[in-house]
Chain A
Amino acid sequence: MRPFAYEQAGDSSAALRMTANRGASAQYLAGGTNLLDLMKIGVAKPVALVDIGPLRADHASISVDADGLHLGALVRMAEAAEHPDVLRDYPVIAQSLQLAASQQLRNMATLGGNVLQRTRCNYFRDPSWHACNKRDPGTGCAAMDGVNRRLAVLGTSAHCIAHYPGDFANALAALGAEVTLLSPEGTTRRILFEELHRLPGDTPHQETNLHPGELILGFHVPAGPWTRRSLYLKIRDRESYDFAQASAAVALAVVDGTIQQARIGLGGVATKPWRSHAAEAVLQGQRLDEALAHAAAEAAFRDAVTHGENAFKPELGRRTLMRALLQAATMEIQPNA
């Protein structure tokens, strides 16, 4: 690891001030499970770490009210995964966290850090490879014709096909969540979570629309008649403790067998947390059966582009979404209050 300065921020305004003072390459340290990993392997090289652990005092609450689910940025993954209200009213959120990483990591990692985790593309994580536009802009992309079995088929560009590896963020995107941000000037703004991450385009090194030094304070998942009939289905190379090869976050509002509204997120297959409005449109107002689930899955992957090793992904993604939809339709639930 390269040398860096370390400061602990007592609250959010101290965190903003410390980061501003240290300049562009200062970074917030939350659970550290992604950032310290990337520093050890020589990919992240911050000059300073501002430890935001103490912000737990103000930004680690979990609450459910008529407005929806409110999650502080410093909530640990395990806390949200096991919260009884989240399990009952937002099972897709709880499952997306419970099926991620390991219990040790879930005890350390925060929700704010989780959504900002970087891709697991092998070339990005190994600086001995020269070509990686995301790590070193303008150097090319070694993955295009290389080892790309895990990489994305949706939202790719000619410059980068790296997958967004997280799970929770796909559930947030599906449910139309918002994220609250605090700017270095001290003003807060709320944006749609779906707009936090960017497509790679020709600037794959710019992954989010966060302003420099901006701090994530928390997430709001709006209430809706679909949240209880929701689940996260994750398909992995090994049965536990692995990133998704394909995953589906689905939430359905069903009345008398007809889907009033559907919310669909996809993971492991796209370059950013992915919401499939196309699949949602196919489902809306219809009765769910295998043919309809298939049509929705077709719509979700219509624009998929593969690169050799990852040619299996659209089919795996379609089957994952189909199974998730059919499973959600048969869930035994208490109707939303």
Chain B
Amino acid sequence: MATDIMLTVNGGQHRLAVDVRTTLLDALRERLDLTGSKKGCDLGQCGACTVLMDGRRVLSCLTLAVAAQGAEVTTIEGLAGEHDPLHPMQQAFLEQDAYQCGYCTPGQIISAIACVKEGHANSADEIREYMSGNLCRCAAYPKIVAAVQQAKPLMKGR
């Protein structure tokens, strides 16, 4: 069943005709060419598809695009404009070398930003616990924790 929807993504409005079965992840990747959010498992298990909806981190693979209408969706592409400096969390991932293949990274960075904003980045243990929904097959975990710790003080006021 096709239906017309309106999505608000990274500050822009997008009118789309989609099959109601379309997930937010597929709408972002296949229709809006926002391929930063990744499809790892498509079953809510890996966190690669993490995006922000009204500031909350959620899994776009278990969100129907129709049900995402009315919410402000933020993806990795929306963190910094093409000519702007990177978001402190992106910069910290670069500097800490917090990845190998990079497949999980967009989800890690979005999740990490929310982790700091929620107030769940007060210790390495707390970061590990609240980042546990983002799996990394390359096991870059120690460097991811270091990146979150580096970016946290730089995110004040953002």
Contacts and interface: CB of A to CB of B under 8 A. Distances in A.
B63 A107 contact: no
B120 A3 contact: no
Interface stretch (B40-48, B74-82, B93-101): B40-48
Chain B interface secondary structure, helix, strand, loop or mixed? mixed
Interface in A42-83: 51, 53, 78
Given A37-B62, A103-B114, A6 B3 contact: yes
A83 to B, nearest CB: 14
Interface in B106-121: 111, 114-115, 118, 120
B120 A103 contact: yes
Interface in B32-70: 42-44, 47, 50, 56-59, 62-64, 66-67
Contacts of B130: 103
B129 interface: yes
A5 interface: yes
Given A3-B1, A103-B115, A103-B118, A240 B132 contact: yes
A107 B58 contact: yes
B128 A240 contact: yes
B62 A108 contact: yes
Given A37-B44, A51-B67, A103-B133, A32 B62 contact: yes
Identify which of A1, A107, A240 gathers the most chain B CB atoms within 10 Å of its CB.
Answer: A107
B137 interface: no
Contacts of A37: 43-44, 62
Contacts, number: 75
A240 B134 CA distance: 11
A104 B58 CA distance: 5
Contacts of B44: 33, 37, 105
A108 B63 contact: yes
Given A103-B115, A108-B59, A4 B50 contact: no
A32 B21 contact: no
B20 interface: yes
Interface residues of A, number: 26
A312 interface: no
B106 to A, nearest CB: 13
Size band of the B side of the interface?
20 to 34
B42 A40 contact: yes
Given A1-B21, A4-B21, A104 B47 contact: yes
A4 B2 CA distance: 11
Interface string A14-36: 00000000000000010111001
Contacts of A40: 42-43
Contacts of B66: 6, 51
Contacts of B59: 33, 104-105, 108
A241 B20 contact: no
Given A1-B21, A107-B56, 17 more contacts: A3-B20, A4-B1, A4-B21, A5-B20, A31-B62, A33-B44, A40-B42, A51-B64, A101-B133, A102-B132, A103-B120, A104-B133, A105-B44, A107-B57, A107-B58, A108-B59, A241-B132
Interface of A: 1, 3-6, 8, 29, 31-33, 36-37, 40-41, 51, 53, 78, 101-105, 107-108, 240-241
